[in-house]
Amino acid sequence: MAEQNMGTDFTTVIGADVVIKGEVTVERGLRVDGQIEGSLTTKGKALIGKSGQLKAEIRAGTLVVEGRVNGSIVAERVQIEASAQVHGDLNAGKLTVSEGATFSGKVQIAPDALKESARTETAASAGTPRAVSGSTLKNVA
């Protein structure tokens, strides 16, 4: 379940009937119940609601996914809820995946994910592999 207080942190809400193609940049909190194709950037919290669908590169302070994401994610904290479907590479400082969630892609856990991503973007675009460091992955059944 998403954090109970997240609803008060949103300064922007993209409704279920909204489709955006392009670049979305929000300084503070954001909730997406519609569709975005392109990129999404926020220093604050982003919640992709159950009806939210993103085909995008996402950069956020905190990201909670309840809907569908297809694309790369870079965030300090990522929470993938049971209803979520995430496909793409993920670079985060902290990662929580709820039982029932779907994830396919590569995961990199690093304490300063946003800063680390900025340093490795050039290498990643050249096809240089990135290592997973400082993390332990567990399968909780």
Print the domain residue range for 41.
4-125
Whether residue 40 lies inside any domain: the answer is yes
Whether residue 138 lies inside any domain: the answer is no
Whether residue 25 lies inside any domain: the answer is yes
Euclidean distance between CA atoms 139 and 114, whole angstroms: 26
Domain count, the chain: 1
* Residue entry with tokens 């993920």: 90
pLDDT of residue 110: 87
pLDDT tens-digit readout, 109-124: 988 766 666 555 555 5
From residue 93, give the alpha-carbon distance in Å to each of 17, 20, 35, 101, 110: 32, 28, 26, 19, 5
Label residue 119 left, alpha or beta by phi (over 0 means left) and psi (-120 to 50 means alpha): alpha
pLDDT of residue 120: 55
Whether residue 58 lies inside any domain: the answer is yes
Whether residue 134 lies inside any domain: the answer is no
pLDDT of residue 111: 81
- What residues in the chain have per-residue pLDDT under 50? 1-7, 128-141
pLDDT of residue 134: 39
Whether residue 139 lies inside any domain: the answer is no
pLDDT of residue 117: 62
Whether residue 132 lies inside any domain: the answer is no
Length of the chain, please?
141
pLDDT tens-digit readout, 50-70: 999 999 999 999 999 999 999
What kind and span of H or E run contains 20? strand 19-26
Whether residue 65 lies inside any domain: the answer is yes
Single pTM value for the model: 0.76
